[in-house]
A = this chain, B = another copy of it.
């Protein structure tokens, strides 16, 4: 049975319990809006101390599966709110989430000295610092969706080749697999612009068509800026989606 705590398991008990409870929520054993057993009941049921129980519930509360009401109990969040919490997604992931096959073509690839704006975004103080610039036309199901212009701050010795990108498609996948770099936090802005002749031709739309400009600065798990990227989306083909939370 996976519905019991194994003291010999390397996985922490609070984590095991959280997994058990999450499963009961997901398979409907704990229906939405219903109270789960009280902390004292769980204490007896799983033979764990209350701090450990609370640690498990804390985790599920932060993940949006449960919410607590002082004096009343702990309740199951409705499914609307529980899954797919805010996530950073790459273009490839984004397209797949929308049921489209991601694709594209590399337009520019090479190292260069970053502009002042980009150096500032990436926190590069070294005057001789170089960044890897990759400009790509991105497609969904073969049709042009956006123009992506990416500037990567790589450490010495971290090399990405054009072939790797053409093969994997996603820069983020390469950063993870090759260098253990995980995108963890990002600042994004969105605004409206109009297509220049060059942009219009690449995306096969009329000049001055409205576009959605998405600029993003990305940080890794060790708090270093790793990428500044601008993506121009066709206004008629793309809708940006985000889930927000606010802590009180």
CA distance A246 to B245 in the complex (A): 13
Let me know if B242 and A242 touch, CB within 8 A.
yes
Minimum CB distance partner of A225 in chain B = B80
Q: Provide the residues of chain B in CB contact with A29, threshold 8 Å.
A: none
Nearest Cβ in chain B — how far from A73, in angstroms?
13
Interface residues of A in 32-75 (CB under 8 A from B): 33, 51, 62-64, 67, 69
* Copies of the polypeptide in the assembly: 2
CA distance A233 to B238 in the complex (A): 17
CA distance A87 to B245 in the complex (A): 6
Instruction: From B67, B221, B243, give the contact of A67 (CB < 8 A).
Output: B221
CA distance A69 to B212 in the complex (A): 38
Minimum CB distance partner of A211 in chain B = B192
Contact stretch, chosen from A101-109, A111-119, A183-191: A183-191
Instruction: From B194, B241, B246, give the contact of A187 (CB < 8 A).
Output: B241
Let me know if A190 and B210 touch, CB within 8 A.
no
Let me know if B221 and A186 touch, CB within 8 A.
no
Q: Provided the pairs A86-B244, A194-B210, A221-B248 are in contact, do residues A123 and B188 lie with their beta carbons within 8 angstroms? A: no
A-B contact pairs, 30 of them (CB 8 A): A51-B51, A62-B62, A64-B185, A67-B222, A77-B223, A78-B223, A80-B219, A81-B185, A85-B247, A86-B244, A86-B245, A87-B244, A87-B246, A88-B245, A182-B248, A184-B246, A184-B248, A185-B245, A187-B242, A188-B241, A188-B243, A190-B212, A190-B242, A192-B211, A192-B212, A192-B235, A192-B236, A194-B210, A210-B210, A242-B244
> Which A residues lie at the B interface, using CB under 8 A?
33, 51, 62-64, 67, 69, 77-78, 80-81, 85-88, 123, 182-192, 194, 210-212, 219, 221-223, 225, 235-236, 238-248
